[in-house]
Amino acid sequence: MKIAEVFLNQTNKRIDHAYDYRIPQQLEAVIKVGMRVVVSFGFGNRRVEGFVIQIKETTDYSGRIKEITENIDSQPILNKEQIELCLWMKTAYCSLFYEALSYFTMSVQIKQETCYFKNQGSFDLNLKENWFIEHYFTEDKNTEDKNALLIKKVKPEDRVILTALVKKKVVYAKKSWKIPGDPNGDDGSAETSYHLTDTGREALNWDKKIGKKQRELMDSLVYHDMTAGDLKMVLAQFEKSLSPLIKKDYVLTYKTLSQALRENPVEAAEKNQSVILTNKEQQSYNWYQELTKVKPGVFFHVFDGASKYRLFFKAIEDQLKSNKSTVIIFPEVNMTFQRMEMFYKYFGDQVGIYHGRLTQKQRAELYQRVQTGELKVVIGVRSALFLPFKSLGLIIIDDEHDSSHISISTPRFHITDIAKKASEIMGAAYIIADDTPRIATWYQIEKKAMAIIQIGEAQKLRHGIEIIDMQKEMHAGNMGILSRILLKYMQTGFEQKRMSVLFINNKGYANSVLCRNCGQIEKCPHCGVSLKYFNRDHSLQCHYCGYKMAVPLRCPDCGSDKIRHLGFGIDQLEEYLRKAFPGVRIGTVQGNMKRTEIKKMNRAIANSEIDVLIGTQVIIKHFNLTNVGVAAAVLIDRDLNQGNYQASETVYQTYSRFFEKAMDDTTKGLIQTHEPENDTIYSIKNESFQEFYRGEIRYRELLKYPPIVEMVSFGVFQNNDKEAENDAFRLYVAMKEELKGFGIEHAVYKPVRIGVTRGGNITYQIVLKSSDPRVFRNLMPKIIRLGIIEELKSKVSIQINL
């Protein structure tokens, strides 16, 4: 007898553990570890999807063991290393097993379908029921079982008849699971691929009638055949541009299910270019190889982007020689197509791209090609790490500071933490690359937990940055948004035909207040963060510990009554500029811009059609800035006073990148602030990460913030304010009681109302700080066993060190 340990797809943490199920004899050769199955669960024996994590010969369960009903997958969808990683995520982030599993199965998702079947025999049917049977149960349907009727095929007005037939037991219902987009599914179809012919290659040199978009598509096919999913990265609506090229025989299309039908991989490898390093890069790479013998993780401190990529390519090339795979994680695939072309250039058909524009069928085929080892170099966002690599040798995370590396659904994590655990489980090396490291990463480097290599030399280009004290501006009679010196520099720039770039980071409005006379901003005496303003009771509050005070009528420092909200928006700034400089040509960029909008604005900038560019962080990611006369951080204070412990780190990373992007030796740089003595601002001016890190780590050591301690934030939320508050306090009291047995090296703070989400949910936050990560991991099983979370009317979210 064989026994399978099965996790169930359900939402109750108390029963989220593996259950023993007997594998029936007819399925013993079929059921394997890593497959989804159907089991019966509970007194009602309801059919539930499950996942097999282990198969064994015996069980410790003394009761009657139920059988697995059927298998959903024909082959395992996860390997043993992935299962181990999934189980670790469940424990580390206190998530449901299936919440963690969802990251691994997003390419092979399943859906449940209800099918109806005819019972044999003769029945007394009326005209409508006879018509229904003759109309719907035909032999020419394109279904796996010709006698099966999918509920979605029945028109809504005919479902009353179907219900009557079920009641008479003429037909019966059966639920089944299906994998949408399965490349081995019913139609046997595969992704369409595109190949640049020899005629097309020659035409690139002589055919002047090839349009701009068509040439862009052809250029993308020079080194590598591409699927429709890949080409969406080049041009979202590519079919219209590609059709004429196919008619001219410049591009041909073909369908493929396997590597056997593709270009011979050995021949393809011969066409790919070898990676050639400079002497300095070769020295860095030799050092990297030595470091990986001691530690699996190496941090690339990047000052030369071109060298960074060549070192990436060399490391990948060596992995391929050892028949191992590599995954490269970028924050946003949409901004990396030029980089992808380089990957194709070196590694050709071994490269796959995993991104959000893929259809479910495209995702499923890429998943299969990774699983079989056909694709050995995968570029993507954080979800690419969860693909079933046959032999993963290297994980690369680029631009690690970017917030896109943090998951937005449960379990919440930073991809670096998952990469480190995956490295440990799978025996893979990992590279983290960034020009401005995260505090958490640099802390690991200082503790010798991670090795470091500097790529390139630091260039000091921003010695011209000036800090403008907006308090002095106000005392001098300037009550406007922009300082007099910034207006002067902008005017000079207009006269010299040079663009002005104004950075105003609109992401996350800081509900803070300040004294416009002296610049005083109220901060929490316990947590050291800015207090947030709450309009409902005109108060200031810390969203970590709950410290609360009324908004002062007069400044406690200078006695002024000029207490004002901190901040303004892009629209206000644009309106102010149009009054200050009539006729000036202003461009604004913010939010999630389409690629066509980005291209249009970049053309306008290149053609000197913009006098002033106002924008948020999209300036840093998407725009090519040249001939900039002045680059200014219009109001840095709002970001410095976001009310969370990571505000200074985010400001340093964001604004350092802005000035690096916008400035050259001739550009004037300005930072407008009400806090001219702020250490973070001076570190930006001095271009000194070490200076910033020393001050920031002292602050976190003093006030006990990550990475010094582990900080867990519990969000308790629903649309009823009072119930959310009651549930939050109930959870807090239970945690406080259970924590009594864990010593004194921890602190838990009372629930604090932190706001309303877009969906209308009111959220209360409970913060747990502990110097020992085991406190959280041991506390949560106790809370779950008590049934506290399941008994709450509200939902609970958990974030760790985010």
Distance from C-alpha of 400 to C-alpha of 330, rounded to nearest angstrom: 8
DSSP per-residue codes, 466-498: EEEEHHHHHHTT--SSS-HHHHHHHHHHHHTT-
Res 471: pLDDT: 87
Tokens of 167: 């009641």
Question: Is the pLDDT assigned to residue 339 strictly greater than 80?
Answer: no
Give the residue-averaged pLDDT of 469-490: 90
Ranking 139-148, 164-173, 576-585, 712-721 by mean pLDDT, the lowest is 139-148
Non-local (6+) Cβ contacts of 596 within 8 A are none
Res 244: pLDDT: 87
pLDDT in tens, 702-721: 999 999 999 999 999 999 99
Res 508: pLDDT: 42
Question: Is the pLDDT assigned to residue 218 strictly greater than 90?
Answer: no
Per-residue pLDDT band for 264 (boundaries 50, 70, 90) equals very low
Question: Is the pLDDT assigned to residue 223 strictly greater than 80?
Answer: no
- pTM of the full structure: 0.84
Res 266: pLDDT: 38
3-state secondary structure 761-783: CEEEEEEEEECCCHHHHHHHHHH
Distance from C-alpha of 780 to C-alpha of 206, rounded to nearest angstrom: 68
Ranking 472-486, 550-564, 628-642 by mean pLDDT, the lowest is 550-564
Of residues 271 and 111, more confidently modeled: 111
Per-residue pLDDT band for 237 (boundaries 50, 70, 90) equals low
Q: What angle do CA 311, 317, 320 make, to 5 degrees?
A: 145
Percent of the chain at pLDDT > 70 equals 92
Res 448: pLDDT: 92
Residue owning tokens 């270019």:
273
- H or E element in which residue 6 lies: strand 3-8
According to DSSP, the residues that pair with 515 across neighbouring strands are: 563
Q: In whole numbers, what is the pLDDT of the chain averaged over residues? A: 87
Distance from C-alpha of 494 to C-alpha of 488, rounded to nearest angstrom: 10
What are the C-alpha distances in Å from 745 to residues 632, 733, 740, 768?
Answer: 44, 18, 11, 11
Nearest to 329 by CA among 408, 402, 224: 402
Non-local (6+) Cβ contacts of 475 within 8 A are none
